[in-house]
Amino acid sequence: MIALVQCLIKYGLFEPFGISTSLTPFNFFLLIMATLCIAAAGNIINDIYDVETDFINKPNKIIVGKTISEKTAYNLFISLNVIGVGIGFYLSHAIGKSELFALFVIISALLYVYASYLKQTFLIGNIVISILVALSILIVGIFELIPAMTIQNQGIQLVFFKILLDYAIFAFLINFIREISKDIADIDGDYKSGMNTLPIVFGRERTSKILFILSFIPLGAVIYYVINNLYTKPVAVIYFLVFIIAPLIYLLILIFNAKTKKDFITISNILKLVMLFGILSILLYKFMLL
């Protein structure tokens, strides 16, 4: 999904409008690879630290210690991080913005801290991982739009960066809600591992009510966005109604009636689909604006 959204941004949003960009096709491919390597490393370190929890929450999906050894997992984690951060070092110097190298180091470090500590803390881990998901969208604008900005094209560059910011906020909201739904589903294993997640602090029932209330935020934001930006574009309105607004309303019904672990896993999967359809809506811009 990370690779898909980054490709859609460059080839479905920037290129059709002739937006000035900084990266060559090869360097853009490297940006995708750097992001994927660091994200994969984050998943690996998360699996390493979650072995005890996963034995309870998802015993059939354990990889570390079952499919591969912990030592191999650590080697993969280090290798992927070195590759990702190394590519980031090259790219930041290739576009003459060496300070952007720090972004890759910070993301890599945050993923490690998240897996080793922040995931166990009250809400902070949920917020951090959701910010990192949003950054996977914004990083394309940071590397493509900002270095290519001049006095002449500043206006249009900022317009398209704002579009990316809107998508990043949407991704943050959906992922944050999804993280809470996953925490509710995983409450048994998390409790036995000594974690301090929202459902452990407030209980499953109260957290479900919080989740229900929070789910109104992306729904309201999308409705507001459609009314204020897309009301003259019937195809876009229909797309958002069918593929984003309707699933979010259905999600509210599911959350209201959710009782079991299976229910919250279903909610998590639907949120993943909403995220996907939200990403695919990038393709509508060339029909809406051209």
Task: Write the pLDDT tens digit of every residue in 277-290.
Answer: 999 999 988 776 65
The dihedral built from the CA positions of residue 106, 148, 80 and 118, taken in this order, carries a sign that is positive
Checking if the pLDDT of 14 tops 70, the result is yes
How far is residue 290's CA from residue 286's CA, in Å, rounded to a whole number? 5
Q: Is 122 helix (H, G, I), strand (E, B) or coil?
A: coil
* pTM of the model as a whole: 0.92
Question: For the residues 62-75, what does the mean pLDDT come to?
Answer: 83
The answer to whether residues 245 and 222 touch, using CB atoms and an 8 Å cutoff, is: yes
- Output DSSP code: residue 229: I
CA nearest 117: which of 169, 279, 109? 109
Residue 160: per-residue pLDDT = 93
The answer to whether residues 30 and 90 touch, using CB atoms and an 8 Å cutoff, is: yes
* Encoded amino acid at 199, one letter: P
216 exposure class (CB count in 10 Å sphere: 0-12, 13-18, 19+): exposed
Least confident of 9-13, 155-159, 226-230, 268-272: 226-230
The answer to whether residues 114 and 128 touch, using CB atoms and an 8 Å cutoff, is: yes
Residue 59: per-residue pLDDT = 67
Residue-averaged pLDDT of the chain: 90
Tokens of 150: 């001049």
Residue 232: per-residue pLDDT = 81
Q: CB neighbours of 37 closer than 8 A, spacing ≥ 6?
A: 80, 81, 83, 84, 87
Confidence label for 49 from pLDDT (cuts 50, 70 and 90): confident
Checking if the pLDDT of 236 tops 70, the result is yes
Task: Write the pLDDT tens digit of every residue in 116-175.
Answer: 888 888 889 999 999 999 999 999 999 999 999 988 889 999 999 999 999 999 999 999
Question: For the residues 195-223, what does the mean pLDDT come to?
Answer: 92
How far is residue 187's CA from residue 180's CA, in Å, rounded to a whole number? 10
How far is residue 212's CA from residue 230's CA, in Å, rounded to a whole number? 27
